[in-house]
Amino acid sequence: MNKRLIGMLLGTALVSSYSVAGEHVIYEVDGQPYEGYWAKVNNTAPLVLLVHDWDGLTEYEEDRAEMLNEMGYNVFAVDLFGQDVRPTKVEDKKQHTGELYKDRGKLLALMNAGLQEAGKLGGNLDDTVVMGYCFGGAAVLESARAGMNARGFVSFHGGLTTPDGQNYSQTKAPILVLHGTADTAIPMSQFAQLAVELEENGVEHEMITYSGAPHAFTVFGSKNYREDADKKSWKAFSEFLVAKTGK
């Protein structure tokens, strides 16, 4: 997506402070190849670990990485499906996400592998925020529950339910949840339950809903895209980044 168009969509003045060319990076997890996306600003910038939705890592995540570069953050977009696995049919998307929902150990291993790969590439693992969209948001909360070291965790219209046997007692950083009130895939009852769980476990959190916003309200060009909710949620995310990182 063109930088200027992104700026128009989000109501921001994007300037060419950086000339960043992201690169696709192949790395292995348990002997299998995965293909992430690394977009570096400089050696000292905070790191954002970005997690894709159920489409796999696509141009959408690369566009968001570019936007974060413009704000001064290094970004590694992790791959949770595998190299060249970018499903387009709903049944295939359900298959790949379903396999990881059923194997939470593998999901966590992939998240941790992505974080470690970001460190190898020069990402600052002591100054990191983990964020994700839809399925990626669920993976972010999974990592938070498992005690991943980060400055914060952010979910955009992500899965919010806590699996049986898990809780937030090991969570080490604040959580930001950005959700659409009109999301029928992940209803407000789950949003409310998560709020209760975070409060019971003493986890610092902020949870914001956007009226009229359905599931996947941030996806540019989709039928569910809601410009107002996208702008507001990105602003909330930006403020969270500034507050929680060393930038």
Question: For the chain, first and last CA: distance in Å?
Answer: 26
pLDDT value at position 5? Answer: 42
- Output the pLDDT for position 243: 97
Mean pLDDT, all residues of the chain? 93
- pLDDT score of 247: 74
pLDDT, greater one: 108 or 2? 108
3-state secondary structure of 201: coil
Q: Which helix (H) or strand (E) holds 78?
A: strand 74-78
CA-wise closest residue to 121 among 37, 56, 205: 37
Q: What is the pTM of this model?
A: 0.92
Domains of the chain plus CATH, in order, are 20-244 (3.40.50.1820)
CA distance 96 to 17: 38
What pLDDT digit, counting tens, does each position of 110-132 carry?
999 999 999 999 999 999 999 99
Number of other residues whose CB lies within 10 A of the CB of residue 182: 18
Residue 210 phi/psi, 5° resolution?
Answer: -125, 120
Strand spans (E) along 2-58: 23-29, 32-39, 46-51
Give the pLDDT confidence score for residue 9 in this predicted structure. 47
DSSP state of 81: S
Number of DSSP helices (H) and strands (E) in the chain, helices first: 7, 8
Rounded to an integer, the average pLDDT of 181-207 is 98
